Amino acid sequence: MKEDSDLTNVARKSTFILAIKLAVVVLSYIGFMFIARYMGAEIVGMIGFALGLVGVLFQTDFGFGKAHNKMISAGEDPKECLGTYIQIKLILTLLFTGALLGGMYIWENVLGHGYEDPMIRSVIFLILGYYILFGLSKIAFQTFGGLRQSAKQQMPELIGTAARVPIMFYVAIASLSVVALAFSYVVSGFMMLLIGILWLRKFEVSRPTKKRMKAYAVFAAPVAIYSVFSAVSLNIDKVAIQLFWNATEVGYFYGMQRVTIVMTMLALSLVPILFPSVSHFHANRRLRKIRELLSTAERYISMILVPMVVVFCILSEPVIHIMVGDEFLPATIVLAILSIYALFFSLNIPHIQTLYGCNKPKLGARVGISIALTNTVLLFILVPREIFGFQLFGWGAEGAAMASLLSVIVGFLLSRYYTRRLVKVRFRGEIAKHWLAGIVMAIFFIFLSDYYYPSRWFDLIIFIAGGLLCYLGIMIAIKEFTKKDVFFFLDLLNFKKMKNYLRGELKS
């Protein structure tokens, strides 16, 4: 019974995190939809480029966040850990800010370059402010993540997003500039930091010791290189497209990233609780529980995401037409490729978190570095038309999407190799059944589209509902979706139990 409650507890917290992240995605998408429809692909591209450029530096903390999460979840002195992490974050924030401003100075005054649009410079400064505020708010996120207090970890992002979206509405409807749009991100970052500070105010903070700083550095060191490569890999695609193409092409790519981000939320909702849970099980030498946790996470991720891949691949044109507008129709192939990328990315997450949770950060780093290097190399082959006179593929946004997909497949294979060696986890045959049901669903869509094209939003909902019924019917027929799964999902969605969990955590 104890082991069943462990899994259910992990699943319930993950369900709550997923609900929060989905709420964040829905709010963000509503704001994005207004921006896409009222302001166009070029404005979307400017914001995407600025987020990518600043994110190259600010989306890494050299693994110290992971170290903080690990120390807290392992039961180390929270006062000392919090003081250590605060000092580290402040130092890194100053270094990153100086590096970005120095790089911009060299670009503008030494190399004599400018920007496609003069407003991009102001947008970069505002997005820098957002990243500074958001980065400092992660002190609270990582602390509550280590304590496995999912509600306190996730709520600030929801509140911050809720503060940004109304501003985005006003900016879009009032036809204001991209600078006003970038300011909405600053408001969001400020709200997240404010909530984090309010919830951390009861915690005592002590000065970090040399021993504690060394412990953080030792854990973070193997992750640091991966953290840097990962930040570069996740952001350089938008920078590369802007460098070799233009803001509109960035808009196509970044816009489709926003559409498919809902797919990655399921797996990302597992990270805040999966890593400390694996860490806890590993500390108690419960490898069987780790295998069960990993296999269960992978199975449900695949089960839920495969039909979404089918929708984005087969119905990419009507999805774009209805969701973001016809200006983004040249990105239909980008949407299809990124949906497959999102599936492989999500399937990788439980395996990489298992490596970290089992105190093997070097193996996790190898996977991440392999993905980042592959992606970066492919970007500079597939995206540009030419470099230094050498003719290249020149695929633009489609090339960036393909680079993302091929690189994550490398990680998909490598992560499984390591987790099989480490915890003896085996490939689940059920995933192949999900693909079988997905293929039948795709055939259903192709057949139906010959007679009926979903050009309105309610048509698309009916269309997708029919495909999902087809998918579910096949899953039931091959006994991959059973009563046990139904009861599992119903228990996770039990409102009373979720309310009791939230009440208990928020009062603690």
Find the range with the poorest average confidence among 31-40, 131-140, 333-342, 358-367.
358-367
What is the predicted pLDDT for the residue at 4?
A: 43
Q: Could you tell me the pLDDT band of residue 294, with boundaries at 50, 70 and 90? A: confident
What is the predicted pLDDT for the residue at 1?
A: 40
CB 59 within 8 A of CB 96: no
The more confident residue out of 366 and 268 is 366
Number of domains in the chain: 1
Instruction: Round to whole Å and give the CA distance between 144 and 135.
Output: 15
What is the predicted pLDDT for the residue at 44?
A: 95
Max CA distance (Å), the chain: 70
Question: Which DSSP string do the residues of 356-385 spell out, in sequence order?
Answer: HHTT-HHHHHHHHHHHHHHHHHHHHHHS-S
Question: Is the confidence at residue 369, as pLDDT, over 70?
Answer: yes
Reduce the DSSP state of residue 269 to 3 states and report it: coil
Query: Between the CA atoms of 270, 47, 24 and 187, what dihedral angle is there, to the nearest 10 degrees?
Result: 120
Q: In the 8-state DSSP scheme, what is residue 329?
A: G
Instruction: Round to whole Å and give the CA distance between 182 and 129.
Output: 10
DSSP lists the bridge partners of residue 387 as 390
pTM for this model (two decimals): 0.85
394-417 b/e (C-beta count within 10 Å ≥ 16 → b): ebbbbbbbbbbbbbbbbbbebbbe
Q: Could you tell me the pLDDT band of residue 157, with boundaries at 50, 70 and 90? A: confident
CB 375 within 8 A of CB 341: no
Which residue, 156, 373, 132, is CA-closest to 272? 156
Instruction: Round to whole Å and give the CA distance between 259 and 275.
Output: 27
Q: Strands 390-391, 386-387: parallel, antiparallel or unpaired by DSSP?
A: antiparallel
Q: Which pair of structure tokens corresponds to residue 459? A: 């048509």
pLDDT mean over 288-306: 84
By residue count, the chain amounts to 508
Q: Could you tell me the pLDDT band of residue 260, with boundaries at 50, 70 and 90? A: very high
Q: Return the residue matching tokens 């439980």.
A: 350
Question: Which DSSP string do the residues of 267-320 spell out, in sequence order?
Answer: HHTTHHHHHHHHHHHHHTT-HHHHHHHHHHHHHHHHHHHHHHHHHHHHTHHHHH
Instruction: Round to whole Å and give the CA distance between 473 and 493.
Output: 22
Q: In the 8-state DSSP scheme, what is residue 391?
A: E
Which residue, 379, 117, 397, 393, is CA-closest to 252? 397
CB 92 within 8 A of CB 136: no
What is the predicted pLDDT for the residue at 497?
A: 60
What is the predicted pLDDT for the residue at 396?
A: 96
Instruction: Encode pLDDT of 57-74 as tens digits.
Output: 898 888 898 888 878 877
pLDDT mean over 96-109: 95
Distances (CA, A) of 142 to 55, 90, 114, 151, 223: 19, 15, 38, 12, 16
Which residue, 339, 363, 344, 343, is CA-closest to 353? 363
Percentage of the chain modeled with pLDDT above 90: 51
342-359 b/e (C-beta count within 10 Å ≥ 16 → b): bbbbbbbbbbbbbbbbbe
Instruction: Encode pLDDT of 195-239 as tens digits.
Output: 999 988 888 888 888 889 999 998 888 778 778 888 888 899 999
Instruction: Round to whole Å and give the CA distance between 203 and 262.
Output: 34
What is the predicted pLDDT for the residue at 145?
A: 76
136-158 b/e (C-beta count within 10 Å ≥ 16 → b): bbbbbbbbbbbbbbbbbbbbbbb
What is the predicted pLDDT for the residue at 2?
A: 45
Instruction: Round to whole Å and give the CA distance between 36 and 43.
Output: 8
The more confident residue out of 291 and 409 is 409
Instruction: Encode pLDDT of 487-502 as tens digits.
Output: 766 665 555 665 565 5
Which residue, 379, 261, 267, is CA-closest to 312? 261
The more confident residue out of 276 and 244 is 244
Find the range with the poorest average confidence among 16-30, 61-75, 294-308, 340-354.
16-30
What is the predicted pLDDT for the residue at 53?
A: 95
Instruction: Encode pLDDT of 113-141 as tens digits.
Output: 889 898 999 999 999 999 999 999 999 98
Angle between helices 150-173 and 119-146 (to 10 degrees): 160
What is the predicted pLDDT for the residue at 365?
A: 80
Q: For residue 91, count other CB atoms closer than 10 A to its CB.
A: 11
Locate all alpha helices (DSSP H) within 147-246, ordered by sequence. Answer: 150-173, 178-200, 210-244
Q: Return the residue matching tokens 């995206």.
A: 383
Q: Could you tell me the pLDDT band of residue 183, with boundaries at 50, 70 and 90? A: very high
Q: Which pair of structure tokens corresponds to residue 25? A: 């995605």
Question: Is the confidence at residue 402, as pLDDT, over 90?
Answer: yes
Distances (CA, A) of 279 to 217, 269, 290, 293, 359: 18, 17, 9, 12, 7
Amino acid at 424: K
CA angle centred on 407, ends 405 and 413, rounded to 5°: 100
Amino acid at 15: T
Distances (CA, A) of 412 to 257, 328, 425: 20, 30, 14
pLDDT mean over 332-345: 96
Distances (CA, A) of 159 to 192, 304, 390: 7, 27, 49
| Residue span of the structural domain in which 91 resides | 2-507
Average pLDDT of the chain to the nearest whole number? 87
